[in-house]
Structures are given as structure tokens and as C-alpha cells.
A and B are shown apart, each in its own frame.
Chain A
Amino acid sequence: MISAAQIPIFIVIVPFLAAFLISIAGLFKEKYCQPLSVLAMSVSLYAAVATLIHVINHGVIHYHLGGWPPPIGIEYVIDHLNAMVLVIVSFVGFIVSIYSKKSVEQELPDKIPQFYTLYNLLVTGLLGITITGDAFNLYVLLEITALTTYALIAVGRGRAALSGFNYLIMGTIGASFYLLGVGHLYIMTGSLNMADLHQLLPSLYGSGAIFIAFLLILIGVWLKMAFFPMHGWLPNAYTYAPSSTSCLVAPLMTKVSVYVMIRIMFSVFSPKFTFQEFSFHEIVVWLAVVAIVGGSLFALTQKDFKKMLTYLIIAEVGYMVGGVWLANHNGIMGAVLHILNDSMMTLCMFLVVGIIVYKTKGHHFDNLGSLYKKMPFTMAAFTIGALSMIGVPPTAGFFSKWYLILGAIDANQWEFLVALIFSSLVNVVLFFRIIEFAYYPSFSNQHGDAHGSEKIDEAPASMLVPLLIVAAGLLVIGVFTGKIVTYIIQYTIPNGL
């Protein structure tokens, strides 16, 4: 009875319904929460993959919610770009929902139903942001993701509550700026639908209000993705969050925000406005350069594995924002490809951190001692992830960096090229230092009972299998980069660039 045209709605609605079922199921039997969550995520992933295949074969899908045509109602618009992001989000959601079982049981033993309810709502929010074609609907979903993230971060240990509060303040400012920008667009045009705005706006380019609207939306989105001058909230928030939270939030939050930025720049406004009327793109690339260099340098000074990774996230945001604002084909292709690669690399790294926290109760460098002997599979996956972060050829990270470098050369923005190479060199130092720490026993127990602790002590299968899948995925994406570019990425370049 359900026709194939209804498939896109299942991507969002299944995790959404599951959230309430989980909260009710949690009142009766807590052990059903995690399997329900996995089930919902797998249905969502299946629907997302089916949609992606449909988009590749037949082009853009429009889905009218409530049967109302836009701009009267809300519509879903799925093109190559967001079909790909949908698959990434639902894949990460699926992987982490399997992985989280042991980790949540250890860190939040009495709040399991609430955790999985919010988990499903968070994934729903991210999927909804990606799929929607309505500027205001995006705001509502932005707030769902924000509220769930504040709570999921704040239940961590130590400074988590304070970091969560700072994130709340910054996140609310970001969302309010976005809402204000949409209000400016609405007062000037009378529409909220993205495609409709794209039609109406060109006659208003040059108006001060439109310029301010663009600026407000950009600043709002930059706050959400922790782009350079507005990155202060991110490191503490992600470091003190529970491992399952950071595994889900760290790979997705910044990438979905980058997606929103691309959507606003090219689908609501146009490349002509963004790069000619606005004419700030060289400054933005410079900001990205500062983000990359600064993020890498701060990462060097850290003595904590997880905190180091959070600074690398800031550097990676610089990659993507810089790539988009290079304003040429290779730059944008590199940035879009990096959304895919970086979410997989970050996921891989945070999964490793989660396992280390599960086994050694900490993420400081001291906790890494002789891990290569204790957990060979985990550390093998870590090595693949590290090589990809550095950008060594067969892994995925190399290819997006290659496109970004080509884009920098095309745009004559040599500073961006230098920053990319500098950051790769810093990554080499960072990850080889960690490999060294993990190869030898740590200093603190070198003299004591070092011999007893060197037996293989691998993580449980429910954590290890997802990690190995992701690590293998990094290699697979690397090998099939050519296919991904021909079938998906090259369609994401806006018309009229």
C-alpha cells in the first residue's frame, strides 16, 4: 500500500517515532531501548540509501508534506548533496547506536531510556536539517539538535555541566542569529521556501537588508560549526561529554552545519551573490587559514587524547569552509568530499577514544601505555584513521585534501595551500607521538606490574565490530573516490559558478 514515493519521509519519521516508543518502553523494560534504537536507525539507513540510489538514477526528489505545494506548505527537496549527507548521518547514527550499548551501561547506568530517547531525537534533528527545503523548518530542527546536544553533553563528568552551559549560550546565539536572518529574508520577500527565495532574491541584491540577512545567517551557522573566531565552546564541550555522545556529535554536528552553509550560499542565495556582490570570500579563506593553523597548533600543546582531537575538528572545519569559499570547482568538490571523509575519520577516532575510555577509564596520554599489545584490533583501526587524518594515499583523507590543494592553486590562494600542508605535517607529528605512547608501556607503571598487564585485553565485540567497519570504510571510500566523484560529488557544484 505504501508507494515508493513515500520512502523519503521514512528517513526522518522512523527515528522520530522510535524516540517516543523508547521513552515509553523505558518505563517497562529498559533492555528494549537500545535494540529499538538500532532497529530504527537501520530502517532509516535503508531508506536513506534507497533515496540516494533513486536520486542518482532519476534526479531530484520533491516531497510535499501534508500535500500542500510549496511555498504554501513545507517541502522536502533531495538532491545529490543532501542525499549523500543523509546517508552519512544515518550511517553514523546506526554505527554509534550499536557501539553505545556497553559504553552507556558503564557511564549512565540509570538513565538509559532517556539517553536513547534523546539520541533518536538528535539523529532525527540532523536528518531533518539535511532533508528540508524550508528555511524556518530548518530552524526548528536546529533547535531540536541543539537541545538534545546540550543535555547529552552536560551529563558527562567534571566540567561537563559548565561546558554544556557555555555551549547552550553560544548555540542559542547562533540559532537566534539564524532566525533573525530568516526574518530579514521574510520581510523583504514574503517567502520561507528555499527554492522560492532563490527565485525572488536576485531582484533584491544590493539591498542592505539582504546583505545583513546573509551575514546574520552565516554568523549563526559559523557559531554552530565552531568556525575560527567562534570556536571557544567546542573543545571543552566535546572533551567532557560521555563517549557515546561525542562519537555521535563530533562527526556530525560540524559537518551538517557545513552542509547548511553550502545550502544557504548556493540554494537560497546564488554563487553570483555569494562571490561577487558579497565579495568577502578572500577574507573568509584567510579566517579558514587561521582556523587550520591555530587548531593544529593548539592540538600540539594538548596532553589529552580526546581534547587533541577536538582541536583537530576545528582545523577540519577550516578545511571545509575554506574549500567552499575558494569559489571554484575543485575547492567545492574537495569540501563536499571532505564532509564525507572527515565524518568517517572523526567517527573512527572517537570510536577509538570511546574504547580506550571504556577499558582504561580515561583519555589522557598516560592511559595509552602499551595499547598496541593489549588491543591490537582497536589500534590497527586507529592507525588507519591516523593515516587518513594525515592524508596518506590509499586512505580516504588523501583525496579530499588533493582536491582542496588543486582548488587553492586554481584560486591563487597560496596561503590556504600552505596551511593545508602545515596541518598535514602537524598531524604527522601528533599521530606518530600517539603511536609511540601506545607502543611502549606508560612511564607511571613501567617499573611496577608492567608485565602482568600486557596480555591481549580487547574491547567487547559490540564496540569493536562497528570500529572495524568504519576503518574498512575509510579504505573503501579511498579506493572508490573516483566513482563517488562521478556519480555524486560533481552534481553538487552550483549552476552559474
Chain B
Amino acid sequence: MELILAKYNYWIYVFLMMIGFYAMIVKNNLVKKIIGMSIFQTAIILFYVSIGAKKGATIPIIEHHAHSGAIDPAHYINPLPHVLMLTAIVVSVSTLGVALALILKIYHQYGTVEEDEILEQIQ
């Protein structure tokens, strides 16, 4: 029980990642692969944000009355994973944009976004 309470957040990320990864490698439709990719990347972001979480702490914005005097790090959530994940979100939207552009190009070339139908046309 202790273990479940301490770790269930991590397990959810593992499960979401499996869903996304499954869609990326098994699905036949190219748009579905992209959706899987988004889920996969979001799951990784969830993992990082979970690293930063801290019990009994508040959001990482220093309060005004705390300017003078020492600041207790245990009082604020770890900001570093948040910074890293801003980058990851931006990367995921960029990848999504390029992937959709490729899908448009593939559709104009073959008239379908199903991978097996495209491969049939090539042969």
C-alpha cells in the first residue's frame, strides 16, 4: 500500500507511454502515429514534472515578503524540470508541425494516409 501511494504517479506515466509507443509502432494510419507520438512525448513530460513535485511546497515564484532574509528551498517546488519541459513541449509542437506537413505531402502524392495502401501503390 505504501509503495502504491508513493509510486502510482510514476506508473501512470509508464502506462501512458506504453499507449503512445504502441500507437507509434503498430498503427497503420500516419495521423494515428502522430497522435501516438504526442501522447508519448506528453507522458515523458509528465514524468519530468513528477520529478519536480515536492510535498508541502508552493509554486516556484519567490514571494515578495521573502526578499530579505534567507529563502528555504524546501518551501518552493524544484523549478529545473519545469524549465526542461518547456523545451520539450516546444520540441513536440515543432515535430508535430513538420510531421503534419509531411503527411500533407504524402497525401498529395498517394491519395491516402494508410501506410499499407501507400506501400501497395509503390510496388
Contacts and interface: CB of A to CB of B under 8 A. Distances in A.
Interface of A is mostly: helix
B62 interface: no
Interface stretch (A143-151, A250-258, A335-343, A398-406): A143-151
A161 B105 contact: yes
Given A162-B106, A165-B30, A180 B98 contact: no
A151 B97 CA distance: 11
A143 B98 CA distance: 12
Nearest to B88: A179
A154 B118 CA distance: 16
A159 B37 CA distance: 22
A183 B37 CA distance: 18
A176 interface: yes
Contacts of B48: 183, 186
A186 B49 CA distance: 12
Interface in A258-282: none
Contact of B118 (A162, A168, A173, A187): A162
B18 interface: no
Interface in B13-51: 21, 24-25, 30, 33, 37, 40-41, 44, 47-48, 51
A165 B34 CA distance: 10
B102 interface: yes
B74 to A, nearest CB: 14
B98 A168 contact: yes
A164 interface: yes
A169 interface: yes
Contacts of B105: 154, 161
A164 B51 CA distance: 34
Contacts of A192: 80, 84
A147 B33 CA distance: 17
B94 interface: yes
A161 B106 contact: yes
B114 to A, nearest CB: 12
B91 interface: yes
B122 interface: yes
Interface string A187-209: 10000100000000000000000
Contacts of B33: 169
A168 B44 contact: no
Contacts of B91: 140, 143
B68 interface: no
Contact of A147 (B44, B80, B94): B94
Contacts of A159: 122
Nearest to A140: B87
Given A168-B95, A169-B37, A176 B109 contact: no
Candidate in A150, A164, A179, A180 with the most chain B CB atoms within 10 angstroms: A179
Contact of A176 (B30, B41, B87, B99): B41
Contact of A183 (B51, B99, B103): B51
28 contacts: A136-B84, A136-B87, A140-B91, A143-B91, A143-B94, A143-B95, A147-B94, A147-B95, A150-B98, A150-B102, A151-B98, A161-B102, A162-B106, A162-B109, A162-B118, A165-B103, A168-B95, A168-B99, A169-B37, A172-B24, A172-B40, A172-B95, A173-B24, A173-B25, A173-B40, A183-B44, A183-B47, A192-B80
Interface of B: 21, 24-25, 30, 33, 37, 40-41, 44, 47-48, 51, 80-81, 84, 87-88, 91, 94-95, 98-99, 102-103, 105-106, 109, 118, 122
Given A165-B106, A172-B24, A192-B84, 8 more contacts: A136-B84, A154-B105, A173-B40, A176-B44, A180-B47, A186-B81, A187-B51, A192-B80
